[in-house]
């Protein structure tokens, strides 16, 4: 692994991976390709470690000529593919960008890699790897008594977002099987941590609770998710790149199953501890149960025995420790928060998706 193309490296998980890789792999050369849509920002790429080499390219993964030229120009031997539209609520409101980015974009990258690596032997004699980053949502929803998702769980996506990621997984797997493209797939659970765009649950609740605003909780708040601290995810991906077997899929999770409501309550309690404010405390009083999203999956859970046994990876952060670290990061990075929240598109989305959502009576 010498020259790494990271797609979507200005987004939440991608930017954390860029920080992590430069910190842990001093000889690596990173090319970061990102279209800088609403969820990607150069703010996420400030204060990068000085180790290694880094180049940013503003561009779209659907641009075949651009992708092909980058592979050749930088002799790319590793692609780590994060770039995706990833917010379920946005996919419900407008699914077309999800189809374009998540399916067509992934196909474009795979085709460029196949041609450069396999047909043209662009990095002849050197190992190559395409790492496709996906989600647990491709597996659908679990009942309370069902076993956690494993790598052999049948796909059953329920939202346009999940369906687009499932489609991209299938296309990626077909390239591994049909063309012998050296490829691995990882399906991760809900990520949280520094630099997450504040339309997602955890940063949204942190920032609203800090300011004494209502804390929207969908439905009864009893939806269950597995939460993965983003640096643990980055470490897992690096383990797959270094030790994973081409053609294999690996589930990555945090091994916890709290309800959404309990996550919100924990954040309230942490802010009451870190930033007590008698005028709005206890912050649990700000919780506002609102109309649920259509087709909301009830439960996700991840079985991570494969990656633990074969690659020796397991999460380092407990949920409690990870949430404490995450809340403290947002409290300590007010300039980042201010820069992200000034986006007009972001403010419009909050109004559309949360302000106009009816409170349950």
The stretch 51-75 carries a mean pLDDT of 95
% of the chain exceeding 90 in pLDDT = 87
What is the spatial distance between Cα 218 and Cα 261, in angstroms, rounded to a whole number?
A: 9
pLDDT in tens, 79-130: 999 999 988 888 999 999 999 999 999 999 999 999 999 999 999 878 999 9
Q: What are the counts of helices (DSSP H) followed by strands (DSSP E) for the chain?
A: 13, 11
Q: In what helix (H) or strand (E) does residue 236 lie, and over which residues does it extend?
A: helix 230-243
The stretch 57-62 carries a mean pLDDT of 98
Question: Domain range holding 147?
Answer: 3-196+228-255+296-317
The answer as to whether 260 is a domain residue is no
Position 354 pLDDT exceeds 80: no
The answer as to whether 71 is a domain residue is yes
Q: Which residues are catalytic?
A: 136-137, 161
pTM: 0.95
Looking at residue 89, what is its pLDDT? 86
pLDDT in tens, 134-145: 999 999 999 999
Looking at residue 353, what is its pLDDT? 75
Beta strands in the chain (DSSP E): 3-7, 29-34, 53-58, 78-81, 129-135, 183-188, 190-192, 215-218, 227-229, 249-252, 287-290
The answer as to whether 345 is a domain residue is no
Position 52 pLDDT exceeds 80: no
The answer as to whether 29 is a domain residue is yes
Looking at residue 199, what is its pLDDT? 86
What is the spatial distance between Cα 75 and Cα 215, in angstroms, rounded to a whole number?
A: 48
The answer as to whether 333 is a domain residue is no
Q: What's the total number of domains in the chain?
A: 1
What is the spatial distance between Cα 205 and Cα 109, in angstroms, rounded to a whole number?
A: 35
225 or 52, higher pLDDT: 225
> For position 129, which CATH number holds?
3.40.50.720
The stretch 217-235 carries a mean pLDDT of 97
Which residues does 210 contact at the CB level (< 8 Å), separation at least 6? 271, 275, 330, 331
The answer as to whether 209 is a domain residue is no
pLDDT in tens, 323-350: 999 999 999 999 999 998 887 677 777 7
The answer as to whether 147 is a domain residue is yes
Q: Mean pLDDT over all residues of the chain?
A: 94
pLDDT in tens, 183-204: 999 999 999 999 999 889 999 9
The answer as to whether 151 is a domain residue is yes
Looking at residue 359, what is its pLDDT? 73
Looking at residue 357, what is its pLDDT? 66
Bridge partner list, 192: 229
Looking at residue 50, what is its pLDDT? 77
Looking at residue 124, what is its pLDDT? 81
Position 271 pLDDT exceeds 70: yes
- pLDDT category of residue 26 using cuts at 50, 70 and 90: confident
pLDDT in tens, 299-326: 999 999 999 999 999 999 999 999 999 9
CB 300 within 8 A of CB 225: yes
């Amino acid at each position: 692994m010498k020259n790494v193309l990271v797609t979507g490296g200005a987004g939440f998980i991608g930017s954390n991976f860029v920080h992590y890789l430069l910190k842990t792999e001093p000889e690596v050369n990173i090319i970061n390709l990102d279209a800088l849509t609403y969820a990607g920002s150069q703010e996420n790429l400030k204060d990068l470690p000085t180790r290694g080499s880094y180049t940013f390219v503003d561009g779209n993964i659907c641009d075949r000529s651009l992708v092909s030229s980058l592979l050749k120009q930088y002799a790319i031997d590793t692609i780590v593919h994060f770039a995706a539209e990833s917010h379920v609520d946005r996919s419900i409101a407008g699914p077309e960008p999800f189809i374009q980015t998540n399916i067509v974009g992934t196909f474009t990258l795979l085709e460029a890699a196949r041609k450069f690596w396999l047909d043209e032997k662009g990095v002849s004699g050197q190992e190559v790897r395409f790492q496709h980053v996906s989600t647990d949502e491709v597996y659908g929803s679990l009942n309370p008594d069902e076993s956690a998702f494993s790598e052999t769980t049948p796909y059953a996506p329920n939202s346009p977002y999940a369906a687009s990621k499932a489609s991209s997984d299938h296309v990626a797997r077909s390239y591994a099987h049909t063309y012998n493209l050296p490829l691995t797939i990882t399906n991760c659970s809900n990520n949280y941590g520094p630099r997450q765009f504040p339309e997602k649950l955890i940063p949204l609740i942190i920032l609203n609770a800090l300011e004494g605003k209502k804390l929207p909780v969908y439905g009864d708040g009893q939806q269950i998710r597995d939460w993965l601290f983003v640096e643990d995810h980055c470490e897992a991906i690096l383990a797959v790149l270094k030790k994973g077997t081409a053609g294999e899929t690996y589930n990555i999770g945090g091994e916890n199953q709290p309800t959404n409501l309990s996550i919100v309550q924990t954040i309230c309690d942490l802010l009451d501890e870190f930033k007590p404010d008698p005028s709005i405390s206890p912050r649990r009083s700000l919780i506002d149960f609102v109309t649920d999203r259509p087709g909301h999956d009830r439960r996700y859970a991840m079985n991570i025995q494969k990656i633990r046994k074969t690659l020796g990876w397991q999460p380092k952060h407990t949920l409690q420790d990870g949430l404490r670290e995450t809340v403290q990061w947002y409290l300590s990075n007010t300039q980042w928060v201010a820069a992200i929240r000034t986006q007009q598109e972001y403010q419009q989305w909050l109004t559309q998706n949360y302000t106009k959502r009816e409170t349950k009576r």
